Amino acid sequence: MYTTGITRDVVFKDGMLRAVVEFSNGQEVLTETFETNQTQPDSWLEEQVGKKLVHLNKMLALANSNEIGKVFTEEEQAAITLKDTYKQDLASFRQFVSAIRSGFTTETNPDFIALKAKLTTNFRSEYLELF
Amino acid sequence: MRCLEAGGLVPSFTEVDLNVSAPPDYIPNPNGFYQFDGEVNSSFYETYNGKLIKLPIRHLLELPQGEYKLVLLKRNPAEIRASMERWTPHTSWGQDEVITYFYDLYFNELIAKLSERTDISITILNYADIVANPEQEFTKLVDAGWDIDVASASALVDETLYRLRLETT
């Protein structure tokens, strides 16, 4: 598990703030440079390091899981593709809903109606979790 | 929620000052919102066992193993959206609002999914039916094993609070 984020260098040059941070899991050390050219809160670097630690440990857990190396059947792959498509359509629908509420379009928009029909037709019980 | 509380159940919720958080043209329910800000996580059951909790329906799939009595309160989805619009004008409620567009589809699949669990008993009530005939509807809960006093619960149903009733055909 990655637990340490040691800041090795912080430089402000050419309008860019760069912080070099080392991460380690006790065996391996990796270095990442965080950059910004915008005003940030005092906790900016701490937050970036914290997010990176979360990512590293989630990737480490994934690498150690049984899913890695699994060979999907054509049927399983097709199901994954369909689910991904549904997820993307649902995200588009959510943007439509937001646009409707903002007054940019209405529920009578043909694209909105078509997308709603598509999501209704393609719905499967295993997609409940996508909502 | 208020009716069930009057009927003898003990709710757990976060106090919301509706007069501060509601927009000026929104008339909040003067009797409270019973908003639950806790998390539905692995300790949910032991933390809230015996309490009455109001949850958005999409969180029901996250309920950890326990022993639940669930009442699913259905309402005209257009009325739900109208209420959302009044509460937060021009701002979407995200997935909670998306679900209203697939209301029956989502509800039916959710019920099927929850019915597979042996630790959840489900009673479905309709908001409009409760307003129209509270004693009959709350009796359904008693029949399902809810320990409530129907008369006390029914006495608090206030039809004047059903303000976003839409005409249905």
How many separate domains does chain B show? Answer: 1
* pLDDT tens digits, one per residue of B79-127: 999 888 888 888 888 899 999 999 999 999 999 999 999 999 999 999 8
Q: Confirm or reject contact between A106 and chain B (CB < 8 A).
A: no
Give the DSSP letter of residue B156. T
Pick A131's closest partner by Cβ from B91, B95, B112: B95
- Cβ count near B25 (within 10 Å): 7
Question: What is the nearest CA distance from A78 to chain B, expressed in angstroms?
Answer: 22
Give Rg (Cα) of chain B: 16
- Confidence band (pLDDT; 50, 70, 90) for A2? confident
In the block, which residue shows the tokens 């637990």? A3
Whether residues A128 and B61 touch (CB distance < 8 A) is answered with: yes
Yes or no, beta carbons of A97 and B106 under 8 Å apart: no
CB of B99 less than 8 A from some CB of A: yes
Measured in angstroms, the CA of A47 and the nearest CA of chain B are apart by 23
Q: Give the H/E segment covering residue A63.
A: helix A44-63
Domain spans of chain A, in order of start? 4-63, 74-130
Range of the domain at B12: 2-161
The reply to whether B59 falls in a domain is yes
**Predicted confidence (pLDDT) per residue in A94-122, tens digit:** 999 999 999 899 999 999 999 999 999 99
pLDDT, residue B71, reads 93
Alpha helices in B88-159 (DSSP H): 95-100, 103-115, 127-132, 134-143, 150-155
ipTM of this predicted structure = 0.74
User: Is B55 inside any structural domain?
Assistant: yes
B39: in domain = yes
Name the 3-class secondary structure at B83: helix
- pLDDT, tens digit, 9 for 90 and up, residues B123-146: 999 988 998 899 999 999 999 999
Q: Searching chain B, which residue's CA lies closest to the CA of residue A93?
A: B98
Pair of tokens at residue B47: 């933390």
CA distance A14 to B59: 48
Q: For residue B42, what pLDDT band results from cuts at 50, 70 and 90?
A: confident
> What percentage of residues in chain B have a pLDDT greater than 70?
82
Q: Residue for token digits 């059951």?
A: B45
